[in-house]
Homo-oligomer: A and B are copies of this chain.
Amino acid sequence: MRYLLYYWPEIQGRGEFIRLALEDAGADYVDVWRSPRGFSSPDKFPNTPGLKPLAFAPPFLVAGKQLIAQTPAILYFLGPRLRLAPKTKSGGLWVHQLQLTIADWLVEAHDTHHPIGSGLTYEQQQREAKRRAADFLAVRLPKYLAYFEGVLQRASGAYLLGKAPSYADLSLFQMVAGLRYAFPVAFGRLEKHYPRIIRVHDLAAARPRLAAYLASPRRIAFNRQGIFRHYPELDIPGKNSKKT
C-alpha cells in the first residue's frame, strides 16, 4: 500500500517521527507537501465545504480510504504493518505508551523556546524561554532520560522492546539527534549517563535504510523553524545535570 503523509515541508517536526518509520521500513510513501503536487494549507485538507477539517493539525496519514491524525496514533497504526511494533494487542499498547511518553517529552522540548505561545516569535518570549529551558535541562530532561534508560535496562536486548527495534526506538534516535542539535553543551554533559539510550541512537543510525535516508536530501536539516532549535543562550547546563 502507498501511504500519503501530509506534513509541513520545511521542518522535521512531528512528521519526522513518521518519516523515520516509513524510511526504515522501506515503505512506499509520498511526502505530499514536499512532492511535485506541492503544498496546500491544512485548512483546505481534507476539505468539505463549510465544515472544519477532520484533523486538528498535521501530520496526517492517508492509507487507502482511512485518514489518521496525531503522530502517536499514526505510528500505532503503521507499527505492525511496517514490522516496527509487535502484532499482539498488549505489545502494541506497550510501545504506544512509550511513544506517548516521547510525545510528552517532545512538547516540553518545544516549549523551551516557545513557553508562552506558538503563534509568537522566539524573540517575543526569549526571557521566559530562558527560565523554561533551564528547568527543562535541570529537571525534566534528566527525568525522561532516566525513564527510558530504565526501560532499556529492563529490556532483554538493546532496544526498548528487546532484540527487535520498534518505531519508538527510531523516535528515541530522533530525540537524541534533536537534543544534540538544540543543546550541544547541556545535553553533551548529560548523555554519557544514559549509555543505553545512546546505543539505541547509534544502532538506529547504522541501519542501512535509515543511514541512507539520513544522508539523503530527504532528511531536512535541523533549523530554527522546527521543534528542536539551537539558541546558545538557552543551552546552559543545569545545576542538577546529572543522572537522577
Residues of chain A having any CB pair with chain B under 8 Å: 48, 51-56, 66, 68-70, 72-73, 76-77, 90, 93, 96-97, 100-101, 104, 107, 111, 115-120, 125, 128, 131-132, 135-136, 139-140, 144, 146-147, 149-151, 153-154
Which residues of chain B come closer than 8 Å to A77, judged between CB atoms?
93
Give the Cβ gap from A130 to chain B, nearest Cβ, in Å: 10
| Nearest-neighbor residue (CB-CB) of A115 within chain B | B115
Could you tell me the dominant secondary structure of chain A's interface residues?
A: helix
Residues of B within 8 A of A125 (CB): 131
A82 to B28, CA, bound (A): 37
Given contacts A52-B147, A135-B117, contact A70 B100 (CB under 8 A): yes
CB-nearest residue of chain B relative to A133? B116
A93–B68 touching, CB < 8 Å: yes
From B96, B97, B116, B119, contact of A132 by CB (8 A): B116
Report Cα–Cα, A183/B144, bound state, in Å. 31
Closest approach, in angstroms, between the C-beta of A45 and any C-beta of chain B? 14
Bound complex: CA A112 to CA B104 (Å): 16
